[in-house]
């Protein structure tokens, strides 16, 4: 899964009463004081340094800065155990550092202090759903993680990545209608995520929503006109709508770039057949059958 690991953690909500707020609250956000605030600011600066290093391709420097930032945020929590923003920052940093086992107990502790924190819910959900040593999460972790992310998307639009995680899970379990809705929400916030839009197109195809699939694949093709798989998807979408001339143009173009792509061969032959261009269809069918494919992404008529 390609989720973005760098998220802006927005302010926690809930204004306290004006008189004698405890803990201190200002401008709608919990305000740490003294040593806790100082440690948090140091952690914030180190996290920013790590983000810059990663953007520059310095992965080692980024990891070192992130580890130092975790240390500062932990000190902020030691100075003020109610500093929920610090828990959330550590959740994000441990995600970058791929250390879910360290993150999970700390995030649970934070949620005991503020159970409705969507920031903590999001990061705990992400860590619970993360694979460990190449193994999928345990069933109980999967269920808890998904439940947390459902809470997040029901409460805020600040974490579109939660929609992506839910969409991928639903797609992989065959709930293509449910997956489509979450992909759409994710793409509303990330319109240039072309690979995700292509997956949305596939989800539409699974539901036989071929006009919607055509629209999705067309947008991806506009961004990636030389991508063979994208070209085949768009050609196949035209085929599914009975637009065989358009399908032929695209599938022929795909085969010029990849002459042995089996799905393009089969769907092009099918398009020729539907157009009554049998003399052109036969050699394409022969090229397809010569490969003796065991499986392929093609559509029978």
Measure Cα distances from 17 to 14, 85, 113 in Å: 10, 20, 19
Are residue 285 and residue 199 in the same domain, yes or no?
A: no
DSSP letters spanning 165-187: HHHHHHHHTT-HHHHHHHHHHHH
Q: Which of 122, 149, 176 finishes a domain?
A: 149
Which alpha helices (DSSP H) does the chain contain, by range?
A: 34-55, 59-79, 84-96, 100-113, 118-128, 139-155, 160-172, 176-189, 194-206, 210-223, 228-240, 244-257, 262-274, 278-290
| Model confidence pLDDT, tens digit, residues 119-165 | 999 999 999 999 777 788 899 999 999 999 999 999 999 999 999 99
Q: What is the pLDDT of residue 32?
A: 56
Average pLDDT, the chain: 88
Residue 197 and residue 178: Cα distance in Å, rounded?
Answer: 15
| Residue 229 covered by a domain | yes
Residue 188 and residue 51: Cα distance in Å, rounded?
Answer: 25
Tell me if residue 125 falls in helix, strand or coil.
helix
| Residue 120 covered by a domain | yes
Are residue 138 and residue 69 in the same domain, yes or no?
A: yes
Are residue 80 and residue 112 in the same domain, yes or no?
A: yes
Q: What is the pLDDT of residue 248?
A: 98
Tell me if residue 26 falls in helix, strand or coil.
strand
Q: What is the pLDDT of residue 134?
A: 77
Are residue 194 and residue 263 in the same domain, yes or no?
A: no
The owner of tokens 């503020």 is 114
| Residue 259 covered by a domain | yes
Are residue 213 and residue 231 in the same domain, yes or no?
A: no
CATH of the domain at 131: 1.25.40.10
The owner of tokens 């992989």 is 172
Q: What is the pLDDT of residue 18?
A: 28
Q: Which of 192, 220, 248 finishes a domain?
A: 220
DSSP letters spanning 196-252: HHHHHHHHHHHTT-HHHHHHHHHHHHHH-TT-HHHHHHHHHHHHHTT-HHHHHHHHH
Its pTM stands at 0.82
| Residue 49 covered by a domain | yes
Query: How many domains are there within the chain?
Result: 3
For residue 56, count other CB atoms closer than 10 A to its CB: 10
| Residue 119 covered by a domain | yes
Q: What is the pLDDT of residue 28?
A: 38
Q: Which two tokens stand for residue 41?
A: 């600011």
For residue 110, count other CB atoms closer than 10 A to its CB: 27
Q: Which of 220, 240, 262 finishes a domain?
A: 220
- Are 194 and 164 in contact by the 8 Å Cβ rule? The answer is no
- Are 216 and 205 in contact by the 8 Å Cβ rule? The answer is no
Q: What is the pLDDT of residue 11?
A: 25
Q: Which two tokens stand for residue 153?
A: 């998307």
Q: What is the pLDDT of residue 292?
A: 73
Are residue 134 and residue 174 in the same domain, yes or no?
A: no
Are residue 27 and residue 144 in the same domain, yes or no?
A: yes
Residue 265 and residue 169: Cα distance in Å, rounded?
Answer: 31
Rg (CA), the chain: 25
Phi-psi region of 10 (alpha: psi -120 to 50; beta: other; left: phi over 0): beta
Are residue 267 and residue 212 in the same domain, yes or no?
A: no
| Residue 33 covered by a domain | yes
Are residue 201 and residue 128 in the same domain, yes or no?
A: no
Are residue 93 and residue 186 in the same domain, yes or no?
A: no
Are residue 125 and residue 47 in the same domain, yes or no?
A: yes
Q: Which two tokens stand for residue 180?
A: 């489509």
Compute CA 288 distance to the chain's CA centroid, rounded to the nearest angstrom: 35
DSSP summary character for residue 135: B
Residue 86 and residue 162: Cα distance in Å, rounded?
Answer: 21
Q: What is the pLDDT of residue 246?
A: 98
The residues of the chain scoring below 50 in pLDDT are 1-29, 299-301
Are residue 284 and residue 267 in the same domain, yes or no?
A: yes
Contacts of 56 (CB under 8 A, 6+ apart): none
Q: What is the pLDDT of residue 286?
A: 93
DSSP summary character for residue 132: B
| Residue 2 covered by a domain | no
Residues spanned by the domain of 235: 225-301
| Residue 5 covered by a domain | no
């Amino acid at each position: 899964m390609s989720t973005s690991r760098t998220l802006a953690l927005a302010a926690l909500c809930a204004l306290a009463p004006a008189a004698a707020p405890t803990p201190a609250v200002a401008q709608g956000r919990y305000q740490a004081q003294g040593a806790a605030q100082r440690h948090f600011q140091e952690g914030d600066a180190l996290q920013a340094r790590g983000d810059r290093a990663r953007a520059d391709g310095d992965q080692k420097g980024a990891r070192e800065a992130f580890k130092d930032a975790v240390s500062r945020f932990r000190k902020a929590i030691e100075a003020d155990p109610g500093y929920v923003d610090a828990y959330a920052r550590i959740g994000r940093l441990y995600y970058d550092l791929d250390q879910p086992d360290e993150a999970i107990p700390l995030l649970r502790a934070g949620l005991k202090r503020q159970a409705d924190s969507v920031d903590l819910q999001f990061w705990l959900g992400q860590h619970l759903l993360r694979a460990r040593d190449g193994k999928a999460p345990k069933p109980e972790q999967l269920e808890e993680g998904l439940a947390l992310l459902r809470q997040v998307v029901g409460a805020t639009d600040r974490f579109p990545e939660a929609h992506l995680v839910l969409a991928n899970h639903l797609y992989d379990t065959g709930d293509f209608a449910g997956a489509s809705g979450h992909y759409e929400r994710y793409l509303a916030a990330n319109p240039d995520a072309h690979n995700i839009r292509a997956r949305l197109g596939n989800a539409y195809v699974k539901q036989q929503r071929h006009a919607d699939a055509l629209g999705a694949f067309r947008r991806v093709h506009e961004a990636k006109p030389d991508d063979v798989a994208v070209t085949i998807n768009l050609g196949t979408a035209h085929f599914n709508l009975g637009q065989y001339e358009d399908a032929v143009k695209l599938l022929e173009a795909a085969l010029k770039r990849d002459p042995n792509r089996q799905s393009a061969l089969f769907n092009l032959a099918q398009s020729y057949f539907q157009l009554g261009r049998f003399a052109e269809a036969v050699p394409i069918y022969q090229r397809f059958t010569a490969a003796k494919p065991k499986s392929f992404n093609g559509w029978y008529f």
